[in-house]
Amino acid sequence: MVLREHFGSNKNPWFETIRRGFYSDNLVLSVETPNDALALSDAAFKRCKEGGFHLRKWASNSTQVERAIPEPLKGKERSLVVSVLGLDWDRQSDQISLRCGIELTSGQVTRQIALRALAKVYDPLGLLAPCTLEMKFFVQESWKAKVGWKDPLPDQPVKGTKEIGVPQDAQFRKFVSGLNILRNIKIS
């Protein structure tokens, strides 16, 4: 919030772009040209320094911009794929991929396991929201049925899902395997 105010109080043409690019304490932006990126990074760095904020972990998919970023400001993660807001960004292809690897044990699915699996889905952009809805139904139904924390999910199907007559355990496992396939999706 302070950073947004700090960038809202000046007439620099880049400040509105920078202000909208903050998510928590991360600044994530995309611009058309390397020259725009250099001008924007210079404006952001100087304005943040005035306010006592130190921007670091800079990364770019442009070699021109990468060379211009001072070493102390670059992130330690110098691989082609870097983490951005919990997502993987391939700097070479300029694509984002989702992290949603959920491993289930071979035993019965309990409410604890279902909730743990749901909590592992980090989706700050809401891209997986349509895919996680069924999983949320599972957790909701287990609360309504007063299933114990370590008790297996009931055998009756979850209301509101398309799998009629299939036990919750099997539905949940099918859902998780489908969600894991989403790791292969790349967003350009």
| DSSP code string of 126-188 | -TTHHHHHHHHHHHHHHHHTT--TTSBPPSSPPTTSS-TT--HHHHHHHHHHHHHHGGG-EE-
Look at the pTM and tell me if it is higher than 0.85: no
CA distance 40 to 116: 40
CA distance 15 to 3: 11
Cβ–Cβ under 8 Å, residues 134 and 161: yes
Phi-psi region of 169 (alpha: psi -120 to 50; beta: other; left: phi over 0): alpha
Q: Where are the domains of the chain?
A: 2-78, 111-187
- By the 10 Å C-beta count (0-12 exposed, 13-18 middle, 19+ buried), 141 is classed as buried
Local confidence pLDDT in tens for the 188 residues of the chain:
455 565 656 666 776 777 777 766 677 888 889 999 898 888 888 877 877 777 778 888 898 988 888 887 777 767 888 888 778 889 889 898 887 777 777 788 888 888 888 888 877 778 888 888 877 877 887 788 888 888 887 766 556 555 555 667 777 888 888 877 877 788 88
CA distance 162 to 154: 17
CA angle 171, 177, 181 (to 5 degrees): 140
